[in-house]
Chains A and B, each alone.
Chain A
Amino acid sequence: MAHGLLGKKVGMTQVFDQEGNQVPVTVLEMAPNTVVQVKTAEGKDGYNAVKIGTDAVDPKLLNRPEAGVFHRAGTDALRHVREFRLSDDEVGNYNAGDKLAVDVFTPGQKVDVTGTSKGRGFAGVVKRHGFKGAKEMTHGTHEYKRHAGSIGCSAYPARVIKGKRMAGQMGVDRVTVRGLKVVAVYLEDNLLLVKGAIPGPKNGLVVAQASAKS
């Protein structure tokens, strides 16, 4: 249950592995994260966790309660902060002000990466849910190319079932991709190379942590 790290998505490229296979990788830049607060089960919080953040920001941009967190920790004000639950024996390893680098991950390890997917705006059912659209484009079909078809029955139940897939906002969701393999870790450049794609735009905030299903 060790902590994860916050970073940003740089982009994708490919590397060759030892056998010479091409491996698609996403590059994540994870500048050292700062421990902002440690919560303990014995303390007033009642549970074990570590709060870490990244990306220094002018404290004037924060409101008073937010700024107070960093003032108490004696660290820079940070733009992004996340909390990770810890087990009893791990809490002792963290102190406010500690820097956490990418070397918490090792090549070969599986990680879960959370990001915010790219926004697609108000999308129709074909794009949003993969509906097939109209079966045929001729024989009298009119203005039906990307429509959804029937959305339910008639007199009974006389309403549309909740959760019926329809057009609407697509993207800008919190998405976690599980079980991605760490391909390489570059400690000096704070880079983490992960096999496969990761949700979100370039420069988007991502959170990587050891896979929950390893």
Chain B
Amino acid sequence: MSSISIIENLDSLETRQDIPEFRAGDTLRVHVRIREGEKERVQVFEGTCISRHNNGVRSTFTVRKLSYGVGVERVFPLHSPRLATIEVKDRGRVRRSRLYYLRERIGKAARVRNLRDVHGGGRSRS
């Protein structure tokens, strides 16, 4: 077996199949498993997906939210077993793949338009 296919086989063992389709601009509810000593509980991190980094099993995505007026961003490994579920709450209408411009915006300007609200311009997604 070639080196590349060996690595691909190993990676396919680690890859999760239960990931919903989403992209930058979408509003996500990420359910994260958290261990506190012996107990395990699930915490929800809700915010806008501002970037996706696609790299096989090493793929990540970044979620940004405002917490008590402070911007918080978390980078999650897409295939991490620590993610219980990823819920896609809303689809956003955006024109670029990395929404870093949201960091400089405050209040109403920091919103992403909902795909449903966009008349005519909305792309259909499978």
A residues whose Cβ falls under 8 Å from a Cβ of B: 10-11, 13-16, 19-20, 22, 27, 29, 189, 191, 193, 202-203
Asked if B79 and A10 sit within 8 Å, CB to CB, the answer is: no
Q: Per a CB cutoff under 8 Å, which of A14, A15, A20, A29 touches B6?
A: A29
Complex Cα–Cα for A207 and B25 (A): 49
Check B70 for interface membership: any CB of A closer than 8 A.
no
A29: B residues at CB distance < 8 A: 6
Smallest beta-carbon distance A182→chain B, Å: 15
| CB atoms of B57 and A11 under 8 A apart | no
Contact of A22 with B80 in the complex, beta carbons under 8 Å: yes
Q: How far is the CA of A22 from the CA of B76 in the complex (A)?
A: 11
Q: Are B3 and A203 in contact (CB under 8 A)?
A: yes
A202 touching B3 by the CB < 8 A rule? Answer: yes
Task: Report whether A19 and B10 are in contact in the complex, using a CB–CB cutoff of 8 Å.
Answer: no
* A193 cross-chain contacts in B, Cβ below 8 A: 10
Among A15, A19, A20, A191, the one with the most B-chain Cβ atoms within 10 Å of its Cβ is A20
Interface of A is mostly: strand
Contacting B57 at CB < 8 Å: which of A10, A14, A27, A191? A14
Pairwise interchain contact A16-B6, C-beta atoms closer than 8 A: no
Q: Which residues of A contact B58 (CB under 8 A)?
A: 14, 22
Do the beta carbons of A189 and B3 come within 8 Å of each other?
A: no
Selected from A13, A16, A20, the residue in CB contact (under 8 A) with B33 is: A20
Find chain A residues with CB under 8 A from B35 CB: 19
Is B3's CB under 8 angstroms from A10's CB?
yes
Residues in chain B within 8 A of chain A (CB atoms): 1, 3-4, 6-7, 9-11, 14, 33, 35, 57-58, 77, 79-82
A14–B80 alpha-carbon span in the complex (Å):
11
B7 & A27 in contact (Cβ 8 Å cutoff): yes
Residues of chain B lying within 8 A (CB to CB) of residue A19 = 35, 82
Determine the chain B residues whose CB is within 8 A of the CB of A13 once the complex forms: 7, 10-11, 57
Contact call B14/A15, Cβ cutoff below 8 A: yes
Pick from B1, B7, B10, B77: contact of A22, CB below 8 A.
Answer: B77
Minimum Cβ distance to chain B for residue A7 (Å): 12
Q: Which residue of B lies closest to A12 (CB)?
A: B7
The answer on a CB contact under 8 Å between B79 and A27 is no
Inter-chain contacts of B11 with A (CB < 8 A): 13
Q: Which residues of B contact A191 (CB under 8 A)?
A: 6, 10
**Smallest beta-carbon distance B47→chain A, Å:** 21
Complex: A11 Cα to B33 Cα, angstroms: 31
Q: Is the pair A27, B80 in contact by a Cβ cutoff of 8 Å?
A: no
